């Protein structure tokens, strides 16, 4: 396959992510699309570690590491400072995990996008607090084991639909992307870069360590998440205009779940129920996009 993405690399090799880390792939392609005129705000997440220890850095762009819950606010300040210095060229991007986006950083994110701050917020989603050792977040999907939802206490709540929450803020651009679809990802980041105001990109980033999958399955599982409609690829402009970017041929969620250790405890009945949930969500999305099943 010939990948239509810029050749330039903004990530050095030798980062300290786990083997098969989806978040590392997500960063690599995102930076290819953003280019070197980028300042990154990096609240606490796996990437606080992956970027490497002082005095080295995996990234070739300026990075401002920040407190866990401050992704939206620090970026607001960076943008304001650049504006005051007359720098309209540099893109400000916040790079946060699901914990820093769905949970602890939710207030600052909502505040920043309500003000329509001119920046891109990227959430790379590995569906739990992976950096601290796989604890559940509000992004953890229904049915998942984590170290804080062990045994029979597996998560019985649905994953928070962060994309729709951002859409409700009526910001210029919201999109989902996935490490198994790099061309789509690069295209969406480039599109976001060309817009003004608050832009949000939600990237599915598999985590072999936390999901209990072999590292070589990282991209395969990510692809299956799209193919099963568990993580649809779509974008929403100005809070109203929905476009579904990929329409999969019916795959059953069962196949996706069976490959991952974090779902090992689920019964056939549980999987049927999850299939219904996924069908329901997909139907809802189609309706919003004005399409039929």
Partner 1 sequence: MKRVIEGSHAVAEAVRLARVQVISAYPITPQTHIVEILSEYCANGTMNARFLRVESEHSALAALIGAQSCGVRTFTATASQGLALMHELLHWTSGARLPIVMAEVNRALAPGWNIWTDQTDSLAQRDTGWIQMYCEDSQEVLDSMLQAYRLAERVYLPVMVVLDAFYLSHTFEPVDVPTQEEVDRFLPPYQPRFQADTENACAFGQLVPPGAYMKMRHNIAIGMDEALKSLNEIQEEFYAIFRRRYNAVEAVCCDDAEIILVTSGTITSTSRLVIKTLRGRGEKAGILKMKLFRPFPVEMIRKAISHAKKIAVIDRNFSFGASGIFAQELRAALYNTPDHPPVFGYIAGIGGLDATVELIEEIYWKTKNTAFPDEESIWMGI
In the complex, minimum distance from the CB of residue 81 to partner 1, in angstroms, rounded to a whole number: 4
Of the pair 60, 254, the CB lying nearest partner 1 is at: 60
What is the rounded CA–CA span in Å between residue 34 and residue 194?
10
Smallest gap from Cβ 16 to partner 1, in A, equals 9
Our CB check for partner 1 shows the closer of 49 and 219 to be: 49
Q: Which residue has the tokens 């729709």?
A: 164
Whose Cβ is closer to partner 1: residue 95's or residue 181's? Answer: 95
> Residue 83 or residue 276: which is nearer to partner 1 going by CB?
83
Positions touching partner 1 (CB under 8 A) are: 36-39, 41, 48-49, 51-55, 57, 59-67, 69-70, 72-85, 90, 107-108, 110-111, 114-115
Query: Residue 145 Cβ, how far from partner 1 at the closest point, in Å?
Result: 28
Verify cis geometry, omega within 30 degrees of 0, for the bond prior to 195.
Answer: no
Minimum distance of partner 1 from residue 67's CB (angstroms): 6
62 versus 150: smaller Cβ distance to partner 1 = 62
Nearer to partner 1, 51 or 236 (CB): 51
The rounded distance, in Å, linking the Cα atoms of 117 and 112 is 6
> CA distances (Å), 117 to each of 93, 270, 277, in order?
11, 42, 34
Least separation, in Å, of the C-beta of 215 and partner 1?
A: 22
What b-and-e string marks burial along 28-46, b requiring 16 or more CB atoms within 10 Å of the CB?
bbbbbbbeeebbbbbbbbb
Sign of CA dihedral 255, 261, 263, 267: positive
Q: How far is the CB of 94 from partner 1 (least distance, A)?
A: 10
């Amino acid at each position: 396959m010939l990948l239509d993405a810029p050749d330039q690399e903004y990530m050095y090799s030798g980062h300290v992510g786990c083997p098969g880390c989806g978040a590392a792939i997500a960063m690599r392609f995102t930076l290819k699309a953003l280019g070197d005129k980028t300042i990154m705000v990096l609240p606490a997440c796996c990437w606080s570690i992956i970027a490497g220890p002082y005095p080295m850095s995996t990234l070739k762009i300026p990075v401002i590491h920040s407190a866990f819950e401050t992704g939206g606010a620090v970026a607001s300040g960076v943008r304001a400072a650049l504006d005051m210095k007359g720098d309209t060229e540099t893109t400000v991007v916040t790079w946060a995990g699901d914990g820093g986006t769905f949970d602890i950083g939710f207030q600052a994110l909502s505040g920043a996008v309500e003000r329509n701050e001119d920046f891109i917020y990227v959430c790379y989603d590995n569906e739990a607090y992976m950096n601290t050792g796989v604890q559940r977040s509000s992004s953890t999907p229904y049915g998942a084991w984590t170290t804080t939802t062990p045994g029979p206490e597996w998560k019985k709540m649905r994953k928070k639909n962060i994309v729709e929450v951002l859409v409700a803020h009526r910001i210029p651009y919201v999109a989902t992307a996935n490490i198994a679809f790099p061309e789509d990802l690069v295209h969406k980041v480039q599109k976001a870069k060309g817009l003004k105001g608050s832009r949000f990109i939600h990237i599915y980033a598999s985590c072999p360590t936390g999901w209990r999958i072999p590292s070589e399955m990282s991209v395969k599982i990510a692809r299956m998440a799209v193919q099963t409609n568990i993580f649809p690829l779509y974008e929403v402009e100005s809070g109203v205009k929905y476009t579904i970017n990929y329409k999969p041929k019916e795959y059953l969620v069962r196949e996706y779940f069976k490959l991952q250790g974090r779902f090992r405890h689920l019964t056939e009945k549980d999987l049927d129920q999850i299939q219904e949930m996924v069908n329901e969500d997909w139907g809802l999305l189609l309706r919003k996009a004005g399409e039929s099943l």
